[in-house]
A and B are shown apart, each in its own frame.
Chain A
């Protein structure tokens, strides 16, 4: 035993260290995706969270340059049953162990991840500490209970790009349209999907005002995914309010929640959130079901929005929460799930086309 995970309610898991050493605090959540650990670890939405992979064998195909979702990982900690000792893939450039060590991701393996998952399912997502330096349970419990947690915390300011930049990974793709992406912790694949569709993508820090955005004369504005509580980013919500009616808007995940708040709705916290790549979502208009990638702990309460203006477009078939909405008159729509996938199914990719169609 050289790593320990202690939950705020006193549950303790002892295991083996993997990756970096240290001590990290966060909300412990579980993700049920069976592939895509690299995309998950590099998704900025996991800022403030310790991820438990429910699939037991992680790291098998190593880590490569192309599957990275952000400039650096922001996740607090990483938990699995067994991390692979070797990487086997023609695309692998480094091992997950090395990657975690170099990027300061504290990880633990060799614990009963199913027991941990069952506990989170029953008791809800909760604060936890992952340590490879302190093994005194009482001391760790004291520390984790003092940790403030995610509700009301503005984590966006920690992950947003410090400067405006133009996405250049997809060079030579042309630039018929201009899209401004408000970076609240954007996943690179959102930018790739837009670039693929002939967009010149300008990424701006979350603090950018509506006035500054409109000055760039974009064809559309995308509100990105991101970590934490949507109610804590009032400044972005205000920006959104000032954009409504002036430009087409597409919101994804946190972007969807902020749009909900901007249009006068409320959000609430789910018991343990949706984190995985197999969530069935029904398109209310076509009746078709999409298998979607999801990663969120908060949710828009659709009943708090004005039904005359806003309509529900997507519904989660597991728990019937709102997964998407649209403004009845203005070119504004948003989804709670991840149409950019990465990791996850491509079923909802067409939403990017719908966004472009609004320009």
Chain B
């Protein structure tokens, strides 16, 4: 399908302010969209309250309004500019909410503005818990079990049916009493009673708890011809219970068989079709019970999201740019893959490396804030790294955090060669593992330094054993390095570099200087190689210079 000629002027709602929970990802996606639509000859009107963004640079749009993103102001802009279409799926949640409000105010109808990307009905279907649950039921997908109760007796019956642990959410509370988790009947008795009392209508929602389940995300794209492709699969290191924005995440998925992955893929495709996102990207989150494999849908973002920005950089597939093209009528098979040039964008990227994202926190700037990680996002940014293995990518990512850690260094043992473990230390490790926090992955390293097993750490954290075992391998290599210090063999140095150890880190571990380590590397010919992010795992020639470094053994 060629591009639409029935629309000429397009209004894009921009990213808004940078706040905790929303960094510059929507500036990235919005800017891409403006550029693409202008290139295609559309007149682009942009509204954004944040002048400190790339998208508000004068060349980006044809007309830029630096105004508050409220329905009233945007309505005035519509009145003045008379756009043919509104593209609300590239500016994050604020843009979606504003679009819904404009529709409800009758502004879109009055000025005959079409929404492109996703229509108001599908936005509501994805955002409203009840509508979403119904939609998922219709296509045979499970969501966490839940039911309402109006009395203690009823509550008991519901909890018994669902099974512990359960989440109790009182409806209509004064002062917004939040949900609570009951792990057994004793806790439940008390919390259900309290919940019913704090609800103005004596109603609680009892929901199956999926805390500790494995968490996954799929980035999906759909075009006007109903072609659907998965751009990227993401597995969370931190299980359910920690907001995705605060979780360490890994691409592609690591611990699903193809059978399970394809079920998730089918579910994502069914989901984007049922919700009715006509064109563009969506992000769908799943939880999987690690013991039984039962899969439930958690939520869907009918728009470009934080994860889309990550997925774009992780795969080389420009989601926002393609989403903008799809919104004006192009189909995936008509758009060339920028990187390979010869193959179309209608495919699923194959990656041949491991991507790790670690959130960046600044609790030191908010001394009053509780540093426990929960379902509300607390990070202020994130870093992403690419390595050939998870171990390499993880240690590279740690360095990018710029928190004076040069790899998976110890929190508790300044000299990893002399680890002594008191009960007090162990207690600290236990609590740091059990309660999610910004430094948890460092404490996992310390747990292994203190001699804990993968099983024990899994018991406390519920983090998948595969991730934990990889961290254990890093710590085991660290032990070998320390044991032989200050001497190195070529094999150990090469393996250390492959495992992502930095020269600084190795210098600290061996008591040598950083320069000594690098001269050893030079002497032994251990050098990084640079590999291309090409969307296709080297199957086709790549034309874009997007590289990552890696210590991968070179050929002889």
Name A's B-contacting residues (CB within 8 A). 11-15, 30, 32-36, 38-39, 54-57, 60-61, 64, 66-67, 81-82, 84-86, 88-91, 110-118, 121, 276-280, 282, 287-289, 291, 317-318, 341-346
Contacts and interface: CB of A to CB of B under 8 A. Distances in A.
Contact of B538 (A57, A67, A118, A345): A118
Nearest to A13: B555
Given A117-B538, A276-B539, A56 B333 contact: no
Contact of B332 (A33, A114, A289, A346): A289
Given A61-B257, A121-B539, 17 more contacts: A11-B555, A15-B553, A35-B257, A55-B537, A56-B389, A61-B256, A82-B388, A84-B469, A90-B292, A112-B552, A114-B352, A114-B531, A277-B350, A280-B347, A288-B227, A291-B347, A318-B344
B172 to A, nearest CB: 39
A303 to B, nearest CB: 21
Nearest to B556: A12
B347 A56 contact: no
Contacts of B353: 56
B352 A278 contact: no
A68 B346 CA distance: 30
A39 B258 contact: yes
Given A90-B291, A288-B226, A289-B227, A67 B354 contact: no
B8 interface: no
A160 B232 CA distance: 37
Nearest to A349: B266
A35 B257 CA distance: 6
B129 interface: no
Given A33-B350, A60-B466, A66 B259 contact: yes
Interface in B234-282: 252-259, 261-262, 265-266
7 contacts: A56-B352, A84-B469, A89-B256, A90-B292, A117-B537, A288-B225, A289-B333
Contacts of A345: 262, 265, 348
Contact of A81 (B255, B292, B389): B389
Report whether over half of chain A's contact residues are helix, strand or loop; otherwise say mixed: loop
Contacts of A317: 333, 343-344, 346-347
Contact of A341 (B226, B233, B262): B262
Contacts of B262: 341, 343-346
Contacts of B165: none
Interface residues of B, number: 57
Interface string B456-478: 00000000111001000100000
A346 B539 contact: no
B159 to A, nearest CB: 25
Given A39-B258, A278-B348, A341-B262, A91 B555 contact: no
B518 to A, nearest CB: 22
A98 to B, nearest CB: 16
Contact of A57 (B256, B259, B354, B540): B354
Contact of B256 (A35, A276, A342): A35
A90 B227 CA distance: 33
A101 to B, nearest CB: 20
Interface of B: 225-227, 229, 233, 252-259, 261-262, 265-266, 290-293, 332-333, 342-344, 346-354, 388-390, 454, 464-466, 469, 473, 529, 531, 536-541, 552-556
Contact of A32 (B293, B454, B539): B539
Contacts of A35: 252-253, 256-258, 261
B333 A282 contact: yes
Nearest to B333: A289
Contact of A291 (B229, B254, B538): B229
Contacts of A30: 537-539
A278 B350 contact: yes
Contacts of B537: 30, 32, 54-55, 114, 117, 276
B467 to A, nearest CB: 8
Given A121-B538, A287-B225, A114 B252 contact: no
Given A280-B344, A280-B346, A114 B552 contact: yes
Contacts of B227: 288-289
A57 B553 contact: no
B169 to A, nearest CB: 29
A32 B350 contact: yes
Nearest to A116: B555
6 closest A-B pairs by beta carbon, nearest first, are: A36-B258, A343-B258, A54-B537, A88-B466, A32-B350, A35-B258
Given A35-B261, A67-B258, A288-B226, A88 B473 contact: no
| Max count, chain A CB within 10 A of own CB: residue among B227, B252, B253 | B227
B333 A280 contact: yes
Contact of B555 (A61, A112, A277): A112
A57 B254 contact: yes
Contacts of A56: 352-354, 388-389
A111 B529 CA distance: 13
| Max count, chain A CB within 10 A of own CB: residue among B265, B353, B354, B553 | B553
Contacts of B255: 60-61, 88-89
Given A61-B255, A88-B465, A318-B343, A34 B473 contact: no
B97 to A, nearest CB: 33
B554 A276 contact: no
Contacts of A88: 255, 464-466, 469
A343 B257 CA distance: 9
Nearest to B227: A289
B36 to A, nearest CB: 21
Contacts of A12: 555-556
B216 to A, nearest CB: 12
| Max count, chain A CB within 10 A of own CB: residue among B342, B346, B389, B465 | B346
A55 B465 contact: no
A289 B224 CA distance: 12
A55 B351 CA distance: 6
Nearest to B340: A318
Contacts of A276: 350, 537, 539
